[in-house]
Amino acid sequence: MRNVILIYRGQVFDTEIKPRLDQYKSDNVVLVIDNKLTRKIVGYITKDYEQKINIITIHEYLNKGVVDNMRFDVTAVNPPYQISNKTNTESIWHKVLDKCLKQSNKSGELVMISPGSWRNVSGKFKPLQEKILSLKLHKLEMHSVKKGKEVFGANTEYDVLYLTNEPRTENFKTKITDYLGNGYEYDLSNVDFIPNVNLDRVYSLVAKPNEEKVSLLRDSTYHTQRNHMSSEEVGEFKYPCAYTIGKLNPNFKYSNTNKLGHFGIPKVIWGNGLTDVIVDREGKYGLTEFTYSIVDDVKNLEMIQKALKSEDFIKNIMGYEKGVGHIYNRRIMETFRKDFWKEFV
């Protein structure tokens, strides 16, 4: 008899939990549910099942150590992405996946659904990425927000990962499907990120060890909450700092100093979300926490702007879905070689 752990939200009982319980009816099953109410409901639904099912909440799983002494042969996970209480909302999906990996038996099988943010270049999910890519990741399916709406009725992209808890071997390849349905087989041992689309093209833009990287300027020097910043151009607060780069007009906050960097530097600027791209030839603008820039020779700025605004770059490199999230992933962009833009003009 195998030890099996299933981690799901209670509202997917008919579509996801019940088929799994039927699949593992001869095994010892731990079922982790999002809260006490759904645990009670699912417990009532399954009270006449022949198999023994240990039903616990996600809080008990993560914080109470209820099954910490167990190791699992099979793990199937589509966890709550976050939990909320009276004061805040906390992202927990990465904690669930990390604990599942730690509690998997040697050669244990895992199927895990998660957001795709674990694949990014850097950030708080990087340790999880490193752990996943150290194991035999047999298959990775990446799905867009459009697909997330179809499958889960939610505005979320998602990945499906199929792993075996064994160290990856030399030249081991993962079967990958991207947002566009393109298929690949990749050795992921030396990658810093996995893009949403067109892996071959995106990786071809990444700077090799002997190539100069793009110069991407982004820091919090002119953060809007600092004392030298103002929402209005008034008195000594006369130095404009790009806040948002809207399709019609940029929006600025103002600093009382231009001596902290950014100013006097020719650059191409964009922002978060649905942003435009502008050229700052004279270095007239600073950057707030919501804007980013590429620094280059003045003669190249308009061409860089054209490249960033091209449909080819936005759709086929950034993998942007119209109206969803940020157009540009600056963490991926800062891995590119300095002259990446020549591919798009």
pLDDT in tens, 62-116: 988 889 999 999 999 999 888 877 778 888 999 999 999 999 999 999 999 999 9
Write the CATH number for 191: 3.40.50.150
Q: Please indicate, yes or no, whether residues 292 and 146 belong to a single structural domain of this protein.
A: no
Q: Are residues 198 and 57 in the same domain?
A: yes
Are residues 161 and 275 both part of a single domain? no
Q: Which of 203, 229, 258 is the last residue of a domain?
A: 203
Asked, for residue 210, whether it belongs to a domain, the answer is: no
Judgement on whether residues 36 and 175 belong to the same structural domain of the protein: yes
Q: Give residue 249's pLDDT.
A: 87
Residue 317: other Cβ atoms inside 10 A: 26
Contact between residue 58 and residue 65 where contact means Cβ atoms under 8 Å apart: no
Residue 288 falls inside a structural domain: yes
Q: Are residues 37 and 148 in the same domain?
A: yes
All residue ranges of the chain with pLDDT < 50 are none
Any domain includes 37: yes
Least Cα distance to 112 among 81, 155, 145 occurs for 81
Question: Both 138 and 220 in a single domain?
Answer: no
Q: Show Cβ contacts of residue 204 under 8 Å, excluding neighbours closer than 6 positions.
A: none
- Cβ count within 10 A of residue 259: 9
Quick one: 164 and 248 in the same domain?
A: no
Please report the pLDDT score of residue 81 as a whole number.
85
What is the model's pLDDT at position 126? 96
Q: What residue has token string 């150590």?
A: 65
Q: What was the pLDDT predicted at 152? A: 84
- Statement to judge: residues 177 and 71 lie in one domain: yes
Tell me, yes or no, whether 84 lies in a domain.
Answer: yes
User: Cα dist. 245→41, 89, 242 in Å?
Assistant: 49, 29, 7
- The answer on 162 and 39 residing in a single domain is yes
Residue 209 lies in a domain: no
Note the pTM of the prediction, 2 decimals: 0.89
Q: Which amino acid is at 19?
A: P
**Tally of domains within the chain:** 2
- Residue 225 Cα to chain centre, angstroms: 26
The string of pLDDT tens digits covering residues 201-221 is 999 999 999 999 999 999 889
Are residues 199 and 219 located together in one domain of the fold? no
According to the model, what pLDDT value does residue 175 have? 98
> Domain ends where: 180, 203, 226?
203
Q: Which long-range contacts (CB under 8 A, 24 or more apart) does 89-98 make?
A: 92/58, 92/62, 94/118, 94/124, 94/125, 94/128, 95/62, 96/7, 96/58, 96/61, 96/62, 97/128, 97/132, 98/127, 98/128, 98/131
320 located within any domain: yes
- Asked if residue 284 and residue 240 are part of one domain, the reply reads yes
282 in a domain, yes or no?
yes
Which residue, 184, 222, 200, 216, is CA-closest to 332?
Answer: 216
What range does the domain containing 70 cover? 3-203
Domain termination site, one of 203, 226, 257: 203
- The pLDDT value recorded for residue 80 is 85
User: What's residue 330's pLDDT?
Assistant: 94
What percentage of residues in the chain have a pLDDT greater than 70? Answer: 100
